[in-house]
Structure 1
Amino acid sequence: MSKRDEERRSSIFTRRALLLGASQLGLFGFLGFRLQKLQLEEGERYATLAEENRVSTRLLAPPRGRVLDRAGRVIAANDLNWRVLLTAEQTQDVSATLETLSRILPMTEAERARIERDVRRRRRFVPVVLREFLSWEEMAKIEVNAPDLPGISVDVGTTRFYPYTEHLAHVVGYVAPPAERDIDGDPLLGLPGIRVGRAGIERHHDRLLRGRAGTVQMEVNAVGRVIRELDRREGVRGQDLQISIDAELQKVVRERIEEGTSVVVMDARNGEVLAMASQPGFDPNLFSSGISNAQWREWTRNRATPLINKTTNGLYAPGSTFKMIVGLAALEAKTVTPGERVFCPGHYDLGDSRFHCHNRYGHGSQDLRGALKYSCDVYFYEVAKRTGIDRIAAMARRFGLGVDLEIELPGTRAGLVPTRQWRIDQGKPWNLGDTVVHGIGQGFYQMTPLALATMTARLATGRAVQPHLTRALDGRAQRGIRAEDWPSLAIPERDLRLVREGMWAVVNEEGGTGKTGKIPGHLGVLAGKTGSVQVRRVSREQRERGFRVENQPREWRPHALFVAFAPYDNPQYAISVVVEHGTSGSGAAAPLARDVMVEVMTRLRPPPSTPPAAPTAPAAPQANGTPPARTTEAPRSPQQRAEGARPPAAGAVGAAGGVDGGGR
């Protein structure tokens, strides 16, 4: 090889060596730069990712807050919930294990299919819940037979428990597993066994009662199997809630009422609801463990609607309990004066229509006080015609009727107080006859027992008292409101006093329609108003044949109502009672209201040292043509006067409701 060839080869080798060296230098430089970036700039992030691959953080469900009554009694608590789990990787034959377990806990084919489906869908080391709410005996049997049940274990959680069962079901509500519509971004709702409020107070205060989730950090391997627990932080318990209901009073009230009856008792001074009871009810504990299809069908097919809280969702015409509102509207509009009298012959003619009073013999000449005492329909027919439906409706809304009362019970209905425009919007005219019928609280009116109790509390205090249930959250008082803190209704005290005197006469004067509601004198004096609401119209032919509602089938009889407050001289409590198809307020509703009010005042209020004096009656009339003195008993028919017989009690003759009268 010549010298030139050798130099050429050497030159080629040198260039290749330089290229290779440069490539190696560039590669090692890039690796060094990348290593520096990974270790110094992104080292912390990758260390965190590595830790997350090793450590699994899981949420822990917190205990749900308790619900207490006004005396501190627990009415919604947390009880132990024993449940049985299956870990598939700990047994060689899942089917054989389930077969052995079924000899201890009988399982349906549907349960077996659900369990096998869950086992297939999950990793073998993830436990599957086989059954919850085990009894102590069932849990003990599983533990005793543990050697023969590979992969089976017993776990303990909590479940909601309601010690007063159906007595407070409509108020407290119940909890159930969250549905898809309940998912609101809270990761707590994704935990197994979590429950959310579905009705009542449980639903309204669900977020506060729910609490905040805790966390547990578990060391896991590459496939997610738990190696050991590293750290645990318990969740924050839900807040305890105290409500205004007295649980023992509620229990007593519900035990005294029958199917189709509703009772609401309020503190007239601050709006606290003391009792809110209706029949029938349901056991909310059944929702915690799961409602069977048979039980659900039984509830939903029951015509008495046990799942419905009739005190807030039952809608009724108020009947004669509405007459105080009509009277106040007329006084404010000056369409009637306090002493002005209207003659009642037992009926009221308007055009070719005749509207009957509940007393076919009439009440004679009556002013507002006497018309309330005897529940004279003719007086209020005339007063309503003069005043007009829109003025009456405006007064009704000031007393909490036909408006949203915003009580802490989801789904509470506002009811209906009709106006002329409301009827026009339906494409129908409002007639003068409609106004007359609505003057005695019938027609299109729809009101709840809660609204009637609110109306009565406002009549007693003259203030816009608002009903509510929440007293305290975690021991912090929410409402310590006094009566004077509520805004005034801006109604002259003279007008309110006149209406209250009429309510006093209903119960405490001879001939009043509510004598059966009188309470023992050592507890004070009760003032109230009876009402009955016809559910079927009585025809002229039936009336002429001597129609009596007492002889009709129960579902044809009028609803019975009574509203009252006590003590008269210093109102503290207001009550409303509705008895479906109870025939008359004086016969069915007033005695029940009396018994409940006695229970309320005995439990919650010390009796006064001396009974309060009765309201002063107006002076006797003069002989110069001024209005005659009000009588103390219902007027007599001509035949009764001739025979010297005592007149029947107001409302003892005739039918109640509609154009046929509704005063009892």
Structure 2
Amino acid sequence: MRRTPRDSAESNRKITRRGLMLGGAQLAFGGALALRMRYMQVDQADEFRLLAEENRVNIHLIPPARGRIFDREGRVIAENEQTYRITMRREDAGDVEDVIGRLSALVELDRDEVERALEEMRTSPPFLQVTVADRVSWEAISRVAVNAPALPGVTPEVGLSRVYPQHETFAHVVGYVGPVSERDLERYEDPEPVLRIPRFQIGKVGIEAKFEDQLRGSAGAKRVEVNAVGRVMRELDRREGEAGGDLQLTLDSALQDYIKARLGEESASAVVMDLEHGDILAIASAPSYDPNKFVRGISVKDYGELRDNNHRPLASKTVQDAYPPGSTFKIVTALAALDAGLITPDETVYCPGYMEVGSRRFHCWKRAGHGHVNLENSLRDSCDVYYYDLALKVGIENIAAMGRKLGLGAAPEVPMSAVTAGLMPDKDWKRRERGAEWLIGDTVNASIGQGFVLTSPLQQAIMVARVATGRAVTPRLVRSVNGIETPSGGGEALDLSPSHLRYIRKAMFAVSNSRRGTAYRSRIIADNMRMAGKTGTSQVLNRVVRNQDVPWEERDHALFVNFAPYDAPRIAVSIVVEHGGGGSSVAAPIARDITLQALYGGDPPLDAYPTADRGRIKAQQERLERERRERAAELGRRA
């Protein structure tokens, strides 16, 4: 049917109207799009350029070089060494197990380390590099580099790691570093980003932990270009971090090494303090351990051997352990009685070999008794009954107050781990901690350093340092931090009578130099080096039995404290030999040898020793020198 002209005109009008509407809509949309594009490209150009840059460029932290640690003469105790390691990126490796299998054909891999790496790769982003082998040789790195096409995702790298070149010598003082753990992160309210770098090392114990903030330094950063999946394409620029500050300790490496050799296989500890500034010249626990094993990741077998050793090589005995001080504590009791004005040096007490207090009999170590003894003789002969008598006169409150004045009962402020305060008990302490009243028998026991009294070897050294100088000497272990010297520990004058201190020093001189003195056999002959000391034997079991008749762990501890030279004191020494037996027979000879080594700055002349000892001392010096050479050669091989 033909359309009429009218219908055609109407149809054309409709088409034109729709076309106009559609064109207008398209024009409006195009205009809006153009305006939006202009807004995004011109007005927001900077913002989108920044977003694009952030997607293209990543910032990676660069671990800082850790500060070094030196002894007082500038010898290195802890430093960083360049090490080679092999890392793997899961994203590039594809079949990780297959690549590790091919890698193990080229390089010897530790199975435990590989398992740890696999676990890290499973829990980390696929583009993160994970260490598969650490401290590998240059030859191993070369083999990996040559075979790189067959090892996708594997990269040989160079890094820094902590090393302790003197191995066991300073382990208990310096401690060691290790990778950051979740437990470490929990100690920080807002952990620094550098702490989250995989395998980043921080101090775990000892000075490494106590001076972590100063030693760590600040991280650097590098800008790297990455692709759409986060793979690093190239490095754009870098800013190196700031190395940590260096520490210089007060310790003398040569003396520390000598003490380690002199203590030998004993379970023992020794402290040597300089009396002018309170510098700790040596502080050694035996046996020791190699901290490098902890840095590299100690094996279960090696750790088990350390943990199960009954001589406790992991324990820092000088500050961590507290022992009954035995007769060395008689110095405190005597000074307390003098200070209270309750005795004079010439007053005597009769010792029949025991003293009855209430219904209990307290024995002297010499069952036949010492007869009439005064203050000097009581220390010289170590008469127990004299101090039982003093205990009844002085009382525990005066004894405890004197002990605290001499540095006992408070943790020394040294940057070592688990520093004990020991125990200087009194009536309030027993009531508070034991829920019981103090007894007279408790005071009698305390007067000779038994019962509840506990002291560490470092506290014992502080005690004798204060007696020798009359000053409140405090120990200083760190000499300077990044070149800035730390305050001296020389201390101010104690509120003690100089004449009372002279009486005690004179009595200590008799201990080592009078023929009846308990340490006479360990005396020093050289006139300008003579020492004054006090022996001590602390009971492990409260029974009358010879040490050689019981197992090692049930024997008495042997102690000795001294200062030297007597006329012009320079050093104080404290020795504890666990389960060593008698202080006079075991601890005193060690203390004498260490004292001479410290005073002479090396092996002393044989004429400094008693004639009867010179043959034995010469043989000992030759043996120790031979062991030092062998140890130095071993350290060279390890390095």
TM over 0.5: yes
1:193 counterpart SS class: coil
Residue identity in the other structure for 2:441: G
Find the counterpart in structure 2 of residue 592 from structure 1: 590
Aligned to 2:446: 438
Is 1:488 aligned to 2:493, yes or no? yes
2:63 and 2:527 mapped to 1: Cα distance? 53
Indicate whether 1:204 and 2:210 are aligned. yes
Residue 234 of structure 1 pairs with residue 240 of structure 2: yes
For residue 457 of structure 1, what is the aligned residue in structure 2?
Answer: 465
- Give the distance between the partners of 1:50 and 1:196, measured in 2 at CA: 36
Offset of 1:584 from its aligned partner?
1.2
CA positional deviation for 1:323: 0.7
Distance 1:104 1:580 in 2: 49
Structure 1 482/93 Cα, relative in aligned 2: closer, same or farther at 3 Å?
closer
Checking the alignment, whether the CA contact within 8 Å between 2:214 and 2:245 is kept in structure 1 is: yes
Determine the structure 2 residue equivalent to 1:182: 184
For 1:504, the aligned partner's letter is: F
Q: In the alignment, which residue of structure 2 is the partner of 1:165?
A: 167
1:112-511 maps to which residues of 2 (within 5 A)?
Answer: 126-146=128-148, 148-183=150-185, 184=188, 185-257=191-263, 258-425=265-432, 426-479=434-487, 481=488, 483=490, 486-511=491-516
1:75 positional shift? 0.8
Deviation at 1:288, TM superposition (A): 1.3
In 2 relative to 1, CA 331–267 (structure 1 residues): closer, same or farther, beyond 3 Å? same
Match for 2:593: what amino acid? D
Distance 1:328 1:43 in 2: 84
AA aligned to 1:67 is I
Q: CA deviation at 1:595?
A: 0.2
Helix, strand or coil: the match of 1:176? strand
Where does residue 532 of structure 2 map in the other structure?
A: 527
Letter matched to residue 405 of structure 1: P
2:560 corresponding residue in structure 1: 562
1:603 CA drift (Å): 0.8
Partner of 1:650: none
Query: SS at 2:233's partner residue?
Result: strand
CA distance in 1, matches of 2:446, 2:453: 8
Q: Is this contact kept in 2: 1:408–1:468, CA < 8 A?
A: no
For 1:527, the aligned partner's letter is: A
CA 1:493–1:158 in 2, change beyond 3 Å: closer, same or farther? same
- State the Cα deviation string for residues 265-318 of structure 1 (Å, max 9, x = none): 111221111111111111100011111122222222222211110111121100
Partners of 1:245 and 1:200 in 2: how far apart?
A: 14
The whole-number CA distance in structure 1 between the counterparts of 2:280 and 2:464 is 13
Report the Cα offset of residue 410 of structure 1: 2.4
Cα distance in 2 between the residues matched to 1:115 and 1:470 = 38
CA distance in 1, matches of 2:92, 2:296: 28
Asked if structure 2 preserves the Cα contact closer than 8 Å seen for 1:244 and 1:469, the reply is: yes
Per the TM alignment, residue 499 of structure 1 is displaced from its structure 2 partner at its CA by 0.9
C-alpha distance in 1 between matches for 2:34 and 2:141: 62
Task: Please point out which of 33, 49, 71 is paired with 2:73.
Answer: 71
Q: What is the rounded CA distance, in whole Å, between the counterparts of 2:178 and 2:198 in structure 1?
A: 12
Shift of 1:116: 5.2
One-letter amino acid of the structure 1 residue matched with residue 311 of structure 2: A
Q: Which residue of 2 aligns with 1:54?
A: 56
The amino acid that maps onto 1:398 is K
Q: CA deviation at 1:572?
A: 1.3
1:70 Cα deviation from its structure 2 partner: 0.6
1-structure distance, mates of 2:143, 2:233: 29
Partner letter of residue 243 of structure 1? L
* Cα deviation digits, residues 28-53 of structure 1 (max 9, x gap): 5897589558744x544333222212
The one-letter code of the counterpart of 2:76 is V
Change (3 A) 1:385 1:91: closer
Structure 1 CA distance for aligned equivalents of residues 121 and 471 of structure 2: 63
**2:520 maps to 1:515:** yes
Hey, what does 2:627 align to over in structure 1?
Answer: none
Equivalent position amino acid for 2:221 in 1: T
- Aligned 8 A contact 1:523 1:598 in 2: no
What's the secondary structure of 2:450's corresponding residue?
coil
CA distance in 2, matches of 1:164, 1:112: 29
SS at match of 2:256: helix
Q: Distance in 2 between matches of 1:596 and 1:210?
A: 35
Cα offset for 1:104? 2.8
Q: 1:116 to 1:198 in 2, by over 3 A?
A: closer
Query: Aligned with 1:52: secondary structure?
Result: helix
C-alpha contact 1:311 1:448 (8 A) present in aligned 2: yes
Mark the CA change 1:260 to 1:114 in structure 2 (over 3 Å): closer, same or farther: closer
SS in 2 for 1:103: helix
Give the 3-state SS of the residue equivalent to 1:58 in structure 2: strand
Local SS of the residue matching 2:213: helix
Q: Greater shift after overlay, 220-229 or 496-505?
A: 220-229
Q: Which residues of structure 1 form unaligned runs of 5+?
A: 540-546, 612-664
2:197 and 2:168 map into 1 onto residues whose CA distance is 28
Contact 2:110 2:133 in 1 (8 A): no
Residue aligned with 2:401, SS = helix
Once the two structures are superposed, what CA deviation does each residue of 1:155-210 show, in whole Å capped at 9, x if it has no partner?
11111111111111001101111111212311111112311111111010011111
- Once residues 373 and 313 of structure 2 are traced to their aligned partners in structure 1, the CA distance between those partners, rounded to angstroms, is 43
The CA distance in 2 between the partners of 1:117 and 1:262, in whole Å, is 42
Where does structure 2 lack aligned partners over 5 or more consecutive residues?
609-639
Question: Separation in 1 of the partners of 2:368 and 2:604?
Answer: 44
Q: Which amino acid aligns with 1:164?
A: Q
CA distance in 2, matches of 1:573, 1:110: 48
**Which amino acid counterpart does residue 509 of structure 2 have in structure 1?**
W
One-letter amino acid of the counterpart of residue 601, structure 2:
R
- Identify if the C-alpha distance between structure 1 residues 330 and 23 changes in structure 2 by more than 3 Å, giving closer, same or farther: farther
Cα deviation, 1:449-505, whole Å, max 9, x if unaligned, reads 0110011111111111111211111222123x273xx12221111111111111111
Superposition CA RMSD, Å: 3.2
CA contact under 8 A between 2:596 and 2:604: conserved in structure 1?
no
Taking structure 1 as reference, are residues 203 and 152 closer, same or farther at Cα in structure 2, changes over 3 Å only? same
Deviation at 1:392, TM superposition (A): 0.6
* Distance in 2 between residues matched to 1:236 and 1:169, nearest whole Å: 27
Shift of 1:335: 1.9
Deviation of residue 375 (structure 1)?
1.2
Whether 1:580 and 2:578 are equivalent positions in the alignment is yes
Partner Cα distance (1:526, 1:123) in 2? 66
SS in 1 for 2:106: coil
The whole-number CA distance in structure 1 between the counterparts of 2:110 and 2:291 is 25
The answer to whether the 8 Å contact 2:597/2:603 transfers is no
Q: Which has the larger share of helix?
A: 2
| More moved, 303-312 vs 93-102 | 93-102
C-alpha deviation, 1:423, in angstroms: 1.3
- Distance verdict in 2 for CA 1:90–1:354, change over 3 Å: closer
| TM-score, reference length from structure 2 | 0.85
Alpha carbons of structure 1 residues 231 and 529: separation in structure 2 relative to 1, 3 Å: same
What percent of counterpart residues are identical? 43
